[in-house]
Amino acid sequence: MSVPTAYIGIILIWSTTPLAIQWSGDGPGFLFGVTARMFIGAFICLLILAFMRTKLEWHKKAIITYLTASLGVFGSMLCVYWGAQYITSGMISILFGLTPLLTSIFAAMILNERSLQFSKLLGITLGLIGLVAIFYTDIVQDEKAYLGMIAVIVATTLHSFSTVVIKKLDCKLQGIVVNTGTLIVSCLLFVVVWMFVDMELPKTIPLKAGASILYLGIIGNVIGFTLFYYALKNLDASSMGLIPLITPIIALILGYLLNNETIDLNLGIGSTLILSGLLAHHWNHFVIKFKTPALQQ
């Protein structure tokens, strides 16, 4: 698979995730929803590895990679699912829009990437302003939403840090191997949390919640994370962190079509700012790509 195809696939999958997360916890509870999702994903990944006749690596560097990646899966997902009880899918999207900024900061600190150039900082700033413009209504809708906001900010930080450290480790494992090992570790951690917090199985699972859990387990975990780890091996960490600047636009449209969420004038303003931010963020790449030999001389 080409890297651009994987990149687009990640965007499409992540755009549907916030809404599916909210639906998956509607009835059985957020903890059952996220734990079931992890187990479904891990089981299918193991089947894929068996079909591919690929071994799951357990050497020291591989284990460290799985544990590091679990910060962005177990830690991040636990916070997001809990926070989704208090905020909308739009709010989840805007807070994950902080990922490019946090990823660039961690990349500069850990990878020594030149990820805090003026053009990139300007692009990130414009993108975040655009996200605020789009989801302003969500921000002021509920005074108690700060609980969910804090949880998702923690999730965003864990995801960004995990992304950069995995890039630093550079374990050279296949994406499906990293995904499988990470999901197994995450499943064990979710079981521990379930034992101490809940230890109850839902009596009934609504159709929408069940379908959302299956979607997140199969599409979100198996395909989404595998594409993510594959793209992460071929792109710098700050470019990967740009994805959450794009996904909220698609998430907003899906929320309008499938969940009766409102679209107002802020969408146009926010979209313009985000597109401007994307252009600014990649300005240096565009200049280098389109330079002619004559200009270089």
Closest CA relative to residue 130, chosen from 32, 233, 270: 270
Domain ranges within the chain, ordered by starting residue: 3-120+138-244
pLDDT at 138: 54
pLDDT at 296: 43
pLDDT at 233: 79
pLDDT at 187: 95
Determine the Cα angle at 160 with ends 157 and 165, to 5°. 120
Per-residue confidence band for 4, with pLDDT thresholds at 50, 70 and 90? confident
* Statement: residue 178 has pLDDT above 50: yes
Report the distance separating Cα 263 and Cα 249, nearest Å: 11
* Statement: residue 209 has pLDDT above 50: yes
Cα 143 to Cα 138, 146, 147, distances in angstroms: 10, 7, 9
Report the distance separating Cα 61 and Cα 173, nearest Å: 10
What percentage of the chain has pLDDT greater than the value 90?
A: 31
pTM of the predicted structure, to 2 decimals: 0.80
Segment 97-109, tens digit of pLDDT: 777 778 878 888 8
* Statement: residue 56 has pLDDT above 60: yes
Cα 109 to Cα 153, 167, 207, distances in angstroms: 20, 13, 45
What's the sign of the alpha-carbon dihedral 53, 59, 63, 69? negative
pLDDT at 269: 78
Q: Which residues contact 252 (CB under 8 A, 6 or more apart)?
A: 90, 93, 134, 135, 261, 263, 267
What percentage of the chain has pLDDT greater than the value 70?
A: 83
More confident residue, 207 or 126: 207
Segment 27-45, tens digit of pLDDT: 788 888 899 999 999 999 9
The encoded tokens of residue 141 equal 């809708």
Q: Do residues 166 and 232 lie in contact, with contact meaning Cβ atoms separated by under 8 Å?
A: yes
Give start and end residues of each alpha helix (H) in 84-174.
89-96, 99-106, 118-134, 136-141, 146-169
Per-residue confidence band for 295, with pLDDT thresholds at 50, 70 and 90? very low
Q: Do residues 239 and 22 lie in contact, with contact meaning Cβ atoms separated by under 8 Å?
A: no
* Statement: residue 286 has pLDDT above 60: no
Per-residue confidence band for 173, with pLDDT thresholds at 50, 70 and 90? confident
Report the distance separating Cα 68 and Cα 182, nearest Å: 8
Report the distance separating Cα 101 and Cα 85, nearest Å: 25
Q: Do residues 177 and 215 lie in contact, with contact meaning Cβ atoms separated by under 8 Å?
A: no
For the chain, report the end-to-end CA distance as a whole number of angstroms: 36
Segment 119-166, tens digit of pLDDT: 777 877 887 787 777 666 555 555 667 788 889 889 999 998 998 999
* Statement: residue 270 has pLDDT above 80: no
Top-confidence range, 68-82, 199-213, 264-278: 68-82
How much helix, strand and coil, in percent to the nearest 5, is found in the chain? 80, 0, 20
Instruction: Return mean pLDDT, the chain.
Output: 81
* Statement: residue 293 has pLDDT above 60: no
Q: Do residues 166 and 65 lie in contact, with contact meaning Cβ atoms separated by under 8 Å?
A: yes
Segment 220-247, tens digit of pLDDT: 888 988 888 888 778 875 577 677 777 8
pLDDT at 45: 92
pLDDT at 246: 79
pLDDT at 43: 95
Q: Using DSSP, how many helices (H) and how many strands (E) does the chain show? A: 17, 0
Cα 224 to Cα 43, 52, 131, 176, distances in angstroms: 15, 18, 23, 10
